[in-house]
Structure 1
Amino acid sequence: MQALIEEFGQYLRHERGQSEHTQKAYSNILNRFADWAATRQLARWNAVELSHLLGYLDHQRNSETPTGDHAKKKRGRPRSESAKLSTESLYLEIAALKAFYRFCVQEQFLPSNVAENLTLPRRWKRLPKALTAVEIEKLLRPPEPITPATLCDHAMLELCYASGLRLAELRGLRLEQLRLDAGFTQVIGKGNKERVVPVGRRAVEAIERYVEHGRGKLAKAGKSPSNVFLTSRGTAFAAVTLWARIKKRCSLAGIDRNITPHMLRHSFATHLLEHGADLRVIQELLGHSSIATTEVYTHVAGKRLKAIHQQYHPRG
């Protein structure tokens, strides 16, 4: 069973252009299913029927902890009785199984798609959380003390907020993609789609300062990649390391609330919309393939406008 999971992972990365994060998430789900199947004497994928998939999903929905050896290796706490598999997690489990079986039938590894009739649950649209303008000002104050690492952090934060980059896009950004003299940068987004986004004046200044005074001290001669942003060891950032750095900067800035990985990106979009930017322009800047994905920001901006109206209108 493992061989097909690995084959599917390669397909996701190299043919579908999915992110490493998506590939790992789907592979983890399939490995969990394989572990569960092994306890039912199901050693081959062609022995699996729809009833087995439903049984596995029911087990995952109601179990206190993830299933199998692969699950034990996962980071994080076990699920408690009060925290069963969420709708979002269940959606991902089913999506992974359906995508895997479509691939196997398409490539003629399996004769039929037993996951075809699995129904995806309705997903709740969570409203994105954005930082306030005051919090942004705190976060983007010039770094103290000035070191290569703090210059790097400051440049990353400025760019994220100025251009709405995903963290994966920030990690993967390379020197040759920067067009700072023109105020733009190329970005490789989801599905290896390329887009060009503007970079604001303050972000340009922060990046130039970092590249001139910080990056050279972080880079290891002949060993460091061409990624713009480097760790203290001269390597490209891992997702976990980058996220930890951003959380630390938020904490040092006195932002005392739960920070999410996409919060700067959400702030970028929300603040543009609040200041009158067209939704289609925001869609293009964010690299969304569908306007429906971008429309969620109208709800956030609408809630803020309602709050302002209630606070300041005499009959609010």
Structure 2
Amino acid sequence: MMRRRRAGFSLVELIVATVVATLLGAGIIGVLSRQQKFYRAATEMLGVRAQLRDGAEVLAADIRGAAVATFGVPLMSDSAIELITLIGSSVLCSAPSGASVMLPPRTLASGNTLTSLLAVPDTGDIAIIYAAGTEPPDTATWETHRIATFAPASLTTSCPPSTGFTTDGDIGSDGYVVTLADTAVASVRAGAPIRFLRRVRYSLYRSSDAKWYLGYRRCNAIGVSSCGTVQPVSGPYMPYTGPGATETGISFRYYDQSGATLGAGLPGNTLARVDIVLKGQSASEVRLAGDARTLYRDSAIVTVSPRNRLR
């Protein structure tokens, strides 16, 4: 009588299959692990470059728009800069009433823009108003005032259609009433340009998480400088390592029109160019090659010239 062959695998075949499956699984896990490490490192690298780009763009925009010729640069140090920079502009709907000036809405039914604000001005900011002279432009001046309040107001109060700057289609929009800290001069007329300025400080600072960031502070525009709480703008950057050090996270160098270096104590209104070096690093260590973990570092160099400078 013939014995039936039993279907299935032998013990040896099962052992071989198990070993092969284990090796394949380990290989797949290894590949996935390396891919995950690569993606994590790539994300950190892109993050560092994005932070450098953000920091450079913010600094360049505010330095470019700073009122250097009129107000100078209150602070010029190797890792910090104070600027009085433009945050908005408009026109007066009517001649000032004492210390109050009236402005049109941001958006008009006609599609025109007479009020443009990057940030809403408020107490402590500066308003400069064009005051026409009796024989313009020789005796015309820009009058400087500190802002006491800046508030929205109905169109009938701030800039009614009778002024010619708005129409009946703007009735649903609010204009603005600006109260100055002192009375505007009599030569300020309806239609006069008004600009709003803010004193700000950018600096490399060490945060509570022991990392270094580009920080922003708002400061008193007129009088003794007193700045508010620092707010992070971008980072982290490499630490501050001292004046003139090459590895400092953010460094500034200042030059006048002739190319001579400017420093603390020199007139800020002669500033013609600022060189900014930003050196960022990843928030955590990454594997860039092999199994070695290290902080990823990158840098950017920006040269900026203020538009409103002495020539």
TM-score, length-scaled by structure 2: 0.23
TM-score, length-scaled by structure 1: 0.23
Which structure is higher in strand share? Answer: 2
Which structure is higher in helix share? Answer: 1
Query: Which has the larger Rg?
Result: 2
